[in-house]
């Protein structure tokens, strides 16, 4: 499958939205995460629209809330905006408390579409891989990057892995489960 100029347009849009951001506690440009999520989604069968949604998956949560979702819908279409909103745990500022946001996000997965789960699971896999990599480099210091403590972060990703194992996508959810188990064994 080739990618069209729409993918390029989405990449440029995502780079403008997130251009000043870095990954939590690092100097890694945030765009690296967006590219990583799109790469994982494509590797696990995403079509171009799902890959574009993967590039934009944090736009609503991190860069303007529902107003950004409306821009995405105007520029790219309703399907893109729906996937991006589904992948957001919050669209308001200030964000609701961490645990309430995460529990609501997990509950919403029960009603999610396969496309929403593909992008979400790709995001979570990229996140867990990054946590595991950074844990190996800096140890327990990594937990200070998060709103939740170590137990909360591990609970969240284990719960997500279990939900994705049940709902799919199958191959991707098994990889997420494997990496979460590795993080639990390494950091536990």
Q: Which domains does the chain have, with CATH numbers?
A: 5-187 (1.10.3210.10)
pLDDT (average), residues 159-188: 97
Distance CA 138, CA 104 (A): 31
What pTM, to 2 d.p., does this model score? 0.95
Q: Are 123 and 54 in contact (CB under 8 A)?
A: yes
Distance CA 35, CA 12 (A): 11
Inform me whether the pLDDT recorded for 3 exceeds 90. yes
pLDDT (average), residues 45-60: 95
Rounded to 10 deg, the angle between the 30-43 and 114-138 helix axes is 130
Q: Are 132 and 184 in contact (CB under 8 A)?
A: no
pLDDT of residue 121: 98
- The token duo for 133 is 């990599």
Give 6-21 pLDDT, tens digit per residue.
999 999 999 999 988 8
- The token duo for 26 is 């690092």
Q: Are 62 and 92 in contact (CB under 8 A)?
A: no
Give 124-146 pLDDT, tens digit per residue.
999 999 999 999 999 999 999 99
């Amino acid at each position: 499958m080739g990618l069209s100029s729409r993918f390029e347009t989405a990449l440029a849009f995502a780079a403008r939205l997130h251009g000043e951001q870095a990954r939590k506690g690092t100097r890694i440009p945030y765009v690296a995460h967006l590219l990583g999520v799109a790469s994982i989604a494509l590797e696990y069968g995403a079509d171009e629209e799902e890959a574009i949604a993967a590039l934009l998956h944090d736009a609503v949560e991190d860069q303007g809330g529902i107003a950004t979702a409306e821009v995405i819908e105007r520029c790219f279409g309703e399907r893109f905006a729906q996937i991006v909103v589904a992948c957001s745990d919050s669209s308001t500022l200030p964000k609701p408390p961490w645990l309430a946001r995460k529990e609501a996000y997990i509950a919403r997965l029960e009603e999610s579409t396969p496309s929403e789960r593909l992008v979400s699971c790709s995001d979570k896999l990229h996140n867990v891989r990054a946590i595991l990599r950074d844990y190996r480099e800096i140890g327990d210091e990594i937990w200070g990057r998060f709103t939740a403590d170590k137990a909360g972060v591990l609970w969240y990703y284990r719960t997500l892995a279990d939900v994705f194992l049940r709902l799919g996508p199958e191959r991707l959810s098994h990889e997420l489960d494997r990496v979460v188990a590795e993080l639990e064994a390494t950091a536990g």
